[in-house]
Structure 1
Amino acid sequence: MSVQAIESYEDFQKIINGDKIAAIDFWATWCGPCKMISPLFEKFAGEAPSDQIAFYKVDVDEQEKISQEVGITAMPTFVFFKNGQKITQTVGANPQQLQAAIKQVVSA
């Protein structure tokens, strides 16, 4: 499964309130670490069970309302939602930590 961009607050609300886990990469175009880990996020999206988890990206500069609501203070931040609730999050370009979080939420 590929990573989809969230283009509006309404889309964000629909996605996080679904019964499928939503893994969201909060990133910025000027963020070096975001560019480094982005290909890995894409790779993990392709490997994860698509019936359980979907992968998204939010550009924090284009979607300030979403970023503020979630409380994003550093990029990249990866936040996992299900049924409108935040399950967990990881901050920083740490591939091992990100992969562990994906495995944790999928097996929960």
Structure 2
Amino acid sequence: MATTAINAAEFEKTVTDNELVFVDFWATWCGPCRAFGPIYEAASEKAENAGVVFAKVDIDANQELAGAAGIQAVPTLMVFKQGQAIFKQAGALQAGDLDELIAQAKTVDLSSAEGNNE
């Protein structure tokens, strides 16, 4: 499996120690989460050697983390690049939409967003 279950203690390190991190906030009782799970897993397996980390956070087991992340609905997908949140959306994505999001996230240039243009 290419996805990694993380908890609050591992969250910050995962987000800051990796270039590009996708985090799926989900719950076992959530129907859309169960539908999105296999799509997320398949995308993670396709991107396994591309330097992208796919993490999952069970909101019931990590309520404090979910609250700190502002999660109000599940599933919610967040994307972090170089430790910065660059995307957050509630709702299950279709496979094609997730593939497109992965491609777009890889091209985000944070240096221009920080005003470091030459």
TM-score above 0.5, yes or no = yes
Q: Please report how far the alpha carbon of residue 89 of structure 1 lies from its aligned counterpart in structure 2 after TM superposition.
A: 1.9
Equivalent pairs counted in the alignment come to 107
Contact residue 6 and residue 57 of structure 1 kept, 8 A: yes
Task: Name 1:97's counterpart in structure 2.
Answer: 97
1:45 aligns with 2:21: no
Partners of 2:83 and 2:47 in 1: CA distance = 21
SS in 2 for 1:37: helix
Deviation of 1:82 after TM superposition, in Å, equals: 2.4
What's the TM-score once normalised by structure 1's chain length? 0.89
Equivalent residues of 1:78, 1:98 under 8 A apart = no
1:1-108 matched pairs, under 5 angstroms: 2-7=2-7, 9-48=8-47, 50-95=49-94, 96-108=96-108
Deviates more, 1:11-20 or 1:72-81: 11-20
4+ runs deviating over 3 angstroms = none
- Cα displacement string for residues 42-68 of structure 1 (whole angstroms, at most 9, x for unaligned residues): 000011153431101000010112111
Q: Which amino acid aligns with 1:100?
A: E
**Structure 2: runs of 5+ lacking an equivalent:** 109-118
CA distance in 2, matches of 1:64, 1:25: 14
Opposite residue 35 of structure 1, the aligned amino acid is R
Rg larger for: 2
What percent of counterpart residues are identical? Answer: 36
